[in-house]
Amino acid sequence: MTLGERIYTRRTALGMSQDKLAEQLEVSRQSVSKWETDASVPDLDKLVKLSELFHMTLDELVKGETAAAPEKEAEQPEESAQRAGGAGTTRVVLGGVLLICGLLTAILLLLLNGGGLGLLIGGCLALAGLMMLLPPAGRLVTLWILWSYMVMVFMPRAMGVRPKWIFSADLYRLCGGYPYFWYLIIAWAEVLTGLSLTAATVRMIRRRKK
């Protein structure tokens, strides 16, 4: 039996799909498919991770020196799936609560003539709830929106400094004196933080697709 056949046999015995195994190993499903057809060989770090996921030693996985693990281990994926399902349900419930609370907070404060404060607090709660309800890629995008919202909306309102001030010629002309110098520094910090969060989010999404 080849290495690819052992990976396929053990994966199916544990009830794991290629997508699930790829997610655990942080690789693409195509990579797993190539391993199982012996079109390519996993790197050493992936072999170590495979042996841990399959509850096998490296010798058992690579050389096939011993028999398959007891049937008891085959029951573990089902238990893991149940735990994952419970965690997923908790996340959905909590996300729904945050989303509803955020929307209600925004509406209530708008009715009480606290529009700006309502949008700040309610928007943050609603975005946090939405992030928990979405799939992984969607959660990354929503997390980026939440952080950008905090940096580009909440911080400017709290500190009285707007990111657009970096384009103000008057501010650069007056930046030699207090407090204009600090206004300019804070405005640039807000803009650069927002750009950094955008770049980090794009990089994380691309890494998940590999």
Helix (H, G, I), strand (E, B) or coil at 179: coil
* Cα–Cα dist 3/11, whole Å: 12
Is 39 a residue whose pLDDT tops 60? yes
With cut-offs at 50, 70 and 90, classify the pLDDT of residue 76.
Answer: low
Q: Which CATH superfamily is domain 3-74 in?
A: lambda repressor-like DNA-binding domains (1.10.260.40)
Task: Report yes or no on whether pTM surpasses 0.85.
Answer: no
| Six token digits for residue 20 | 């699930």
Is 107 a residue whose pLDDT tops 70? yes
Amino acid at 80: S
Cβ-contact 142, 130 below 8 angstroms:
yes
**Residues in CB range of 100: below 8 A, 6 or more apart:** 129
